[in-house]
Structure 1
Amino acid sequence: MDISVVIPLFNEVESLPELTSWIARVMDEHRFSYEIILVDDGSYDGSWEVVCELHEQNPAIRGIKFRRNYGKSAALNTGFEATKGDVVITMDADLQDSPDEIPELYRRIKEEQYDLISGWKAKRYDPPSKTIPTKLFNAATRKMSGIDNLHDFNCGLKAYRKAVVKNIEVYGEMHRYIPVIAKWAGFTKIGEQVVEHRARKYGKTKFGMSRFINGFLDLLSIFFVGKFGKRPMHFFGSMGVLSFFVGLVMAIWIVTEKLIHIAHNERYRDATDNPLFYIALVAIIVGSQLFLTGFVAELVARSSSDRNKYQIEETV
């Protein structure tokens, strides 16, 4: 099969017939073999009934229904597991992504051998309250991930080589950072394509301002897990040793200074009267705690079932 289109949806009953009809038309025009996987993330507006009707009309349309709302990441991860196509396309169900972009995305994955192509909505139809924070998050993500060529990490319209979606796990609210997850998994050929952003035709957005706070926390989480997930002692241990060493040097300085004053029969003050003493004490305690945290995290990592799970490209 050439293409699998994964579409997570939540209360998008009005847009589904038009969207699937548009996708089918594009696929037929380019003679692609395809499947459309609609993942209903706990809709309560009749979306699932429409999905069932669409499946009866076109067997290439498949549906997966969640019992409740789990979030976009869960919907994408479940959709990825169900795909059969050589190239996987993801898009939102609100008609803001254009299916006309699919042929070019497919061509670049197949001919230019990209692992992942992320869409970039250079011209957006969103209010400044959404676009400005998005630009800040994209800038921070570029800096922390080292993926300098992407302008929009969170664009719903993306294309993947099949191996990518079968070897990554999207959980929590990590759908915003799939290119980062793919990079940490060893898929480094990541490109970008300018795509059309269409104004929402039906319904209203499902995302509030809380997504920006969650997005920042997820970015820190994915950065830490990707870099130190298999070796937490390298992070906690190094920080702990540094803090302990700084505190120890301060303590030695305080004691040495006091002994020098005593040796010269000079007036001195007790160590506990010196503010530096308490800073040194805190640094030593924090350093010890960080080191022990790293030790415990290392034990947990070594006990993990996937401690020796690595991405293998191919074998001969």
Structure 2
Amino acid sequence: MAAPDVSVVVPVYDEAESLPELTAWIDRVARAEGLTYEIVMVDDGSDDGSWEVIERLAAQYPAVRAVGFARNYGKSAALYCGFAEARGEVVFTMDADLQDSPDEIPAMRRMILDEGYDLVSGWKKRRHDPVGKRWPSKFFNWTARTVSGIRLHDFNCGLKAYRRKVVKSIEVYGEMHRYIPILARRAGFRRIGEKVVEHRARKYGRSKFGLERMIKGYLDLITVSFMSHFGRSPMYFFGSLGTVMFLLGGATTAWVIGAKLYKQAHDVPLRPVTDQPLFYLAILAIVLGVQLFLAGFLGELINRGASNRNDYLIDKKIGKQ
């Protein structure tokens, strides 16, 4: 069976009202452009009847395929399963709430195929969200740009386009869907672009994300940044930091003891070493240094035993295989 021109992966969580309209819209755009397509819907444990709606849509539209979770696992899990199912030459992700416009599909697909991008992220330059959601998002995106070095305005935009090999080469887990561009670059895909897209006001239901996503977002940013730099060699981080702390604590301890011996030899008034807070701080630094070094060593042992420790993205080959 020939692969479709585009796959549209749609995570679904309690969006029964919007699914028929979204499906018809994607079908209309694809037909107008003469594109073969598939819609991969992933029901993330909905309890509003979304799965029954998906079943009816699959009977009406042969291009609709679906996966259903037994409970709510989160958007990252839905995208991971959707990417595994996607067969299209260009893979899109799109939220099910109709705030992302399928009309953007043709232009974003051309950016992938004609301009050579590996990933194109949407930028909701004009957002139809309350101020309490927009300003934290601006700060979050600024932080993500600063930490990652990827010059995107909107990391968390649900509307993105990918070359197929990108989604087959990355693993989205936890809450990492916000950082797919970082995961893609870590995997070796550096052609990352951006397109201003239409952001529509929510037509049905309500947002499923609260303020707690900001806390999770920053914790995940620390995680993905660390994994990007030290995921294969944790000793470089923990060992280096542990060695510095151990040497600093050891030198401070030697200085404190040396100062005491010098004062004793020259009959200078002195305080007992155990009465000096600096001595205990130095001992603490030594202990923490040893623990950090051991953490790096254990990380290396775990990494050495990982089955995917030598999984590398091979993009080109020459010669007989």
Give me the TM-score of the superposition, normalised by structure 1.
Answer: 0.98
- Residue number among 67, 87, 91 corresponding to 2:90 in the alignment: 87
Counterpart of 1:132 in structure 2 is 135
- Residue number among 148, 168, 173 corresponding to 1:145 in the alignment: 148
Counterpart of 2:21 in structure 1 is 18
Q: Distance in 1 between matches of 2:269 and 2:211?
A: 60
- 1:310 to partner: Cα distance: 1.1
Moved over 4 A (4+): none
- 1:268 to partner: Cα distance: 1.9
Kindly indicate whether residue 212 of structure 2 is the aligned counterpart of residue 175 of structure 1: no
Map of 1:10-89 to 2, 5 A cutoff? 10-89=13-92
Unaligned runs of 5+ in 1: none
Map of 1:154-173 to 2, 5 A cutoff? 154-173=156-175
Map of 1:202-241 to 2, 5 A cutoff? 202-241=204-243
Kindly indicate whether residue 202 of structure 2 is the aligned counterpart of residue 200 of structure 1: yes
Counterpart of 1:110 in structure 2 is 113
- Residue number among 261, 264, 275 corresponding to 2:263 in the alignment: 261
Q: Distance in 1 between matches of 2:275 and 2:159?
A: 63
1:137-175 CA-to-partner distances (Å, cap 9, x unmatched) read 111111111102x00000000000001000001011100
- 1:314 to partner: Cα distance: 2.1
Identity in percent: 58
1:92-115 CA-to-partner distances (Å, cap 9, x unmatched) read 000000000000000000000100
Partner SS for 1:291 = helix
Partner SS for 1:36 = strand
Partner SS for 1:301 = helix
Kindly indicate whether residue 314 of structure 2 is the aligned counterpart of residue 312 of structure 1: yes
Q: Distance in 1 between matches of 2:60 and 2:268?
A: 96
Partner SS for 1:221 = helix
Deviates further, 225-234 or 151-160 = 225-234
1:72-127 CA-to-partner distances (Å, cap 9, x unmatched) read 10110100000111100110000000000000000000000100000000000111
> Residue 105 of structure 1 aligns to which amino acid in structure 2?
M
- 1:266 to partner: Cα distance: 2.2
> Residue 210 of structure 1 aligns to which amino acid in structure 2?
E
- Residue number among 5, 9, 12 corresponding to 2:12 in the alignment: 9
Unaligned runs of 5+ in 2: none
Counterpart of 1:99 in structure 2 is 102
Kindly indicate whether residue 124 of structure 2 is the aligned counterpart of residue 121 of structure 1: yes
Partner SS for 2:217 = helix
Partner SS for 2:42 = strand
- 1:249 to partner: Cα distance: 1.1
Counterpart of 2:246 in structure 1 is 244
1:270-298 CA-to-partner distances (Å, cap 9, x unmatched) read 11111211111111111111111111111
1:152-199 CA-to-partner distances (Å, cap 9, x unmatched) read 000000000001000001011100110011011111110000000000
Q: Distance in 2 between matches of 1:269 and 1:195?
A: 69
Q: Distance in 2 between matches of 1:34 and 1:183?
A: 27
Counterpart of 2:274 in structure 1 is 272
Q: Distance in 1 between matches of 2:268 and 2:99?
A: 79
Q: Distance in 2 between matches of 1:4 and 1:227?
A: 31
> Residue 246 of structure 2 aligns to which amino acid in structure 1?
F
- 1:229 to partner: Cα distance: 1.0
Q: Distance in 2 between matches of 1:287 and 1:141?
A: 30
Give me the TM-score of the superposition, normalised by structure 2.
Answer: 0.97
Q: Distance in 2 between matches of 1:121 and 1:289?
A: 45
- 1:261 to partner: Cα distance: 1.1
Q: Distance in 2 between matches of 1:171 and 1:264?
A: 64
Counterpart of 2:304 in structure 1 is 302
Cα RMSD (Å): 0.8
Q: Distance in 2 between matches of 1:32 and 1:194?
A: 22
> Residue 43 of structure 1 aligns to which amino acid in structure 2?
S
- 1:67 to partner: Cα distance: 1.0
- 1:265 to partner: Cα distance: 2.2
Kindly indicate whether residue 249 of structure 2 is the aligned counterpart of residue 281 of structure 1: no
Partner SS for 2:286 = helix
